Amino acid sequence: MFLASLGYAALDPSPGRRAPLVDCASEVTPVDPSPIRSPQKLHTELSNRYFANKHVVEIGTRNGDSVACFARTAASVTAIEMDTRYCRKLEERAKPQQTLGGGISGLRVVCGRFGDTSSGAPPLVDADWYTWWVGGDYANMPFLRTLCRAKEEGKLRQSAQALVLFDKKYGLDMSSLKELEHRNVTSFRAKVDFDEFSACVAASHANNTELRHLSGWSSRLCVRARGQFYYAAIHLTPAECGRLHRRHSLESKFGYTGRMEGRL
């Protein structure tokens, strides 16, 4: 009833095959609270509107709360995670018998830095959608350029697209979105209203050792556990990739493109 009221019942990305609809808030028990991860309401929208019956790659998955939702409608889901601690946790969640946070059936886990071309690095996974929320141009531009180069070299299907997430209350995110729109590379953008404030406060007051040891974590961050998230799609066409490859003045001056910044 809830999903039908949003119009999802009419969405059928694959003729003759209707993917099951999902409500992440009721079907996925998250390990992390917002704002450490993106909102469950956003996961629901992406799963039902875009990822159903598609091959999906998420970059920077952490404990896997988002892919736990995506896997319920997608044809396949791959998590790319550079932190070995979370890689081990993702591999545990991928086991059929795992119940912590809900097992993730069919999840493929790739441990390593996305775009790593060094010897022994895992190959780039081909997919329909690549999605991430890792914080501002420090990662968004390098990731998009990596996908563009792979597409230009014929390593990805021509239909491959990126879907990038942005927290309205995080300045670096909104600056990055503005930069992408200035370059005229976003095919569309949308926003999702959410409220996970109470769950964030409860997690902060609980005896959560992982939160206590998380660099930058404070219960004051719960103000970001409600508000709006934007998402924007980039088709990675030759014209869009040409505009993405151009360096802007800040990159030339500070050389920050390859730098990784935390979201907290």
- Residue 11 included in any domain: no
- 53: tokens are 């019956």
Residue 174 lies in a domain: yes
* Range of the structural domain that residue 106 is part of: 30-245
How is residue 17 annotated by DSSP? B
Which residue is it, tokens 């039902």? 48
Distance (Å, rounded) from C-alpha 38 to C-alpha 225?
9
pTM as predicted:
0.85
The residue whose two tokens read 């009833």 is 1
CB-CB contact of 101 with 93 (8 Å): yes
* The pLDDT value given to residue 248: 64
81, with CB counted inside 10 A (0-12, 13-18, 19+), is: buried
| C-alpha–C-alpha distance, residues 104 and 26, integer Å | 15
Per-residue confidence (pLDDT) for residue 94, from 0 to 100? 86
CATH code for position 215:
3.40.50.150
Q: Is residue 173 part of a domain?
A: yes
Q: Is the residue at 150 inside a domain?
A: yes
CB-CB contact of 134 with 167 (8 Å): no
User: Would you say residue 158 lies in a domain?
Assistant: yes
Quote the pLDDT of residue 10: 33
Residue 137: per-residue pLDDT: 79
Residue-level pLDDT at 241: 97
- Determine the pLDDT at residue 95: 80
Regions of the chain with pLDDT less than 50: 1-17, 97, 99, 249-261
Token pair, residue 159, equals: 């239909």
Which pLDDT value is given to residue 253?
42
Task: Give the model's pLDDT for residue 205.
Answer: 82
Distance, CA of 76 to CA of 52 (rounded, Å): 10
How far, CA to CA in Å, does 86 sit from each of 151, 178, 182? 28, 31, 35
Task: Determine phi and psi for 210, rounding to 5 degrees.
Answer: -65, -40
In a domain, 253, yes or no: no
Contact 74, 54 (CB under 8 A): yes
Of 257, 64, 10, nearest to 142 by C-alpha is: 257
pLDDT for residue 13: 41
- Provide the 3-class DSSP secondary structure of residue 193: strand
Number of domains in the chain: 1
Question: 233-260 burial, b for 16+ CB within 10 Å, e for fewer?
Answer: bbebeeebbeebeeeeeeeeeeeebeee
Domain contains 23: no
Domain-embedded: residue 258? no
- pLDDT recorded at residue 170: 93
Task: Supply the pLDDT for residue 256.
Answer: 42
Helix (H, G, I), strand (E, B) or coil at 192: strand
